[in-house]
Each structure stands twice: as structure tokens, then as C-alpha cells.
């Protein structure tokens, strides 16, 4: 099975390049399933129903989230209503939405997807991601060997540790949140594809997707400022993963970086 995981979609520039490039990438990598992290897809913070529908229309099959998922007005109702949208699994009981899903890819195969949030340097207190994700993996494995984990976390150490913890139990552990694509993609010894951070799909010349002048001013003054999504060219970060259908083991993981140099 071939799948694509698209890094954090950030604001309208991220949605634009996703819409423009995903059909070709899906064809190039023969992807049967596309996951995108969408926690910053609406205005650079959160997600709403219109934006979620735009991502699905662009060719995304399932959207994962993170600590910013809740920042749009209709996010709570959307999380409960839309089974193709996940939020981190390790939020407290009673939190709107779900943290895992079993979905059918275009080739008819069942794929398990788990979204979990780290705790190191993260602002929101959540349950232990290691034990939480292991329990969900054990629940999914009797139903499919193809399991993808989005670990939305700040610390590289926490992401790497989770990769080793789940090696051989899941098909891939993909890091999100930091918006900077790392160059450490690999197949771990027991067959789990891993990358510390898949990167960002959004403005190339901002600071993590936000207008760089506002960010620089914040560093210079330490004053609270309203950040805005950067304009200009956009980039698309993703990984293409090839999986063995029967065992769920990864055969390859390839980093993707595309830009629309001349877009305004």
C-alpha cells in the first residue's frame, strides 16, 4: 500500500498549494490514502467545517490535529460530527471528537490512524502518550496491520522515543507540530517508518508560517502581538510511504518538498 502524509497545512497558502499539487503527487506515488495534519489550516490556528471540506475536496482522506485544533468557533461540533477528523487521543475523557479511526483506503484496505500529543514543552496537559497510544494500537491490530501514528509534539527526544517504543507495532510514526521538515527519515529495525517532523505545508518565507515582521517584533519587544499568516510563495512538505499489505511493515519512506515560487 502507498500513502502520503502531508505536513501541517497552514492557512490559505497551505490550502492553495495542497489543492494545486496533491493530485499530481497522489498520481506520482500511486497513493491510495492521504493524511494531512490540519490543526492550523484555518487562518493559521485551528480548523472549521469549511476548511475541512476544502481539504477533503483537495484529495485528503483523513485530517489529524493537535493542540491548536480547538481555536475555531465550530471546532467542537465539527470534531463530534466528522469521523474523518481526529484530535489527539490523550485528551481527557469527554473531550469532543476522537483520537483514532479505522478507515478504508481507495484500494479497499483498512487503515488505522492514531493522533497523539506529546507532553514535553507543550502548553496543554494531557495523558501519557506512550501508554495511551499502545492501548489503541493493541485495539486496532486485530483489525488491520496498517497503522499510522501522528505524534504532535515539540521535543525531538519524545518523538524519537515513541518511534522506538512502537517499532514493529505500527507501520509509521510521523512527527508533526514544529513546521520544520527533518532529515532523519528511516525504517526502524522492526519495520516502522519514522520521521521526527514531516514539516509544514504553508508560507515558505514566514516564521513557521506566520508573518516574519510580527514574529521579529515579538522577539525584540516581548510584547503580546497578534500574529498573521505570511504571504508570498508556499511550500508543501510531505512523506510518501510504501507499506507491505500483509505485515504492515514499511518498505520505504521518502521526503517531499515542493514550492510555488511565483505565487503571491
Q: Top-level CATH class of 2-259?
A: alpha beta
Our answer to whether residue 68 is catalytic in this structure is yes
Q: For the chain, which residues make up each domain, given as ranges?
A: 2-259
Q: Taking the alpha carbons of 119, 175, 111, 22 in that order, is the dihedral positive or negative?
A: positive
- Is residue 228 packed enough to be buried (19+ CB in 10 Å), middle (13-18) or exposed (0-12)? middle
Q: Residue 236 contacts by C-beta under 8 Å, 6 or more apart in sequence?
A: 6, 7, 14, 17, 18, 21, 25, 201, 256, 257, 258, 259
- Crossing angle of helices 49-58/11-28, nearest 10°? 20
Q: 68, 152, 177, 179: which is the annotated catalytic residue?
A: 68
CA distances from 202 to 70, 189, 250, 252 (A): 20, 33, 27, 25
pLDDT of residue 44: 86
pLDDT of residue 123: 85
Closest CA to 119 of 153, 89, 93: 153
Residue 139 has a CB neighbour count (10 Å cut-off) of 13
Taking only the tens place, the pLDDT of each residue in 49-102 is 999 999 999 999 999 999 999 888 889 999 999 999 999 999 999 999 999 999
Residues 116, 88 contacting (CB under 8 angstroms) = yes
pLDDT of residue 71: 84
pLDDT of residue 73: 82
Residue ranges, the chain, pLDDT below 70 = 262-264
Which three cell numbers, joined as nine digits, stand for 146? Answer: 496498517
pLDDT of residue 72: 86
pLDDT of residue 262: 57
Q: Residue 62 contacts by C-beta under 8 Å, 6 or more apart in sequence?
A: 33, 34, 35, 36, 84, 85, 86, 101, 103, 113
pLDDT of residue 261: 75
pLDDT of residue 70: 85
DSSP code, position 114 = E
Amino acid at each position: 500500500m502507498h500513502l502520503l502524509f502531508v505536513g501541517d497545512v497552514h492557512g490559505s497558502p497551505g490550502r492553495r498549494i495542497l489543492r494545486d499539487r496533491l493530485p499530481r503527487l497522489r498520481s506520482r506515488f500511486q497513493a491510495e490514502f492521504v493524511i494531512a495534519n490540519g490543526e492550523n489550516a484555518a487562518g493559521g490556528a485551528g480548523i472549521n467545517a469549511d476548511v475541512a471540506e476544502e481539504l477533503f475536496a483537495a484529495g485528503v482522506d483523513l485530517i489529524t490535529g493537535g493542540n491548536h485544533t480547538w481555536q475555531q468557533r465550530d471546532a467542537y461540533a465539527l470534531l463530534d460530527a466528522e469521523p474523518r477528523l481526529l484530535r489527539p487521543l490523550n485528551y481527557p475523557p469527554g473531550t469532543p471528537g476522537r483520537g483514532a479511526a479505522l478507515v478504508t483506503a481507495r484500494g479497499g484496505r483498512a487503515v488505522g490512524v492514531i493522533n497523539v500529543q506529546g507532553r514535553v514543552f507543550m502548553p496543554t496537559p494531557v495523558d501519557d502518550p506512550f501508554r495511551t497510544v499502545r492501548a489503541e494500537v493493541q485495539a486496532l491490530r486485530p483489525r488491520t496491520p496498517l497503522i499510522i501514528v501522528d505524534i504532535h509534539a515539540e521535543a525531538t527526544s519524545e518523538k524519537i522515543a515513541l518511534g522506538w517504543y512502537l517499532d514493529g507495532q505500527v507501520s509509521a510514526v510521523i512527527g508533526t507540530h514544529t513546521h520544520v521538515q527533518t532529515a532523519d527519515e528511516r525504517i526502524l529495525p522492526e519495520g516502522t517508518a519514522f520521521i521526527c517532523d514531516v514539516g509544514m505545508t504553508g508560507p515558505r518565507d514566514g516564521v513557521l508560517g506566520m508573518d516574519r515582521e510580527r514574529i521579529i517584533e515579538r522577539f525584540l519587544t516581548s510584547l503580546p502581538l497578534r500574529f498573521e499568516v505570511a504571504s508570498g510563495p508556499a511550500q508543501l512538505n510531505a512523506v510518501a510511504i510504501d507499506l507491505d499489505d500483509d505485515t504492515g511493515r514499511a518498505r520505504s519512506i521518502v521526503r517531499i518538498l515542493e514550492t510555488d515560487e511565483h505565487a503571491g
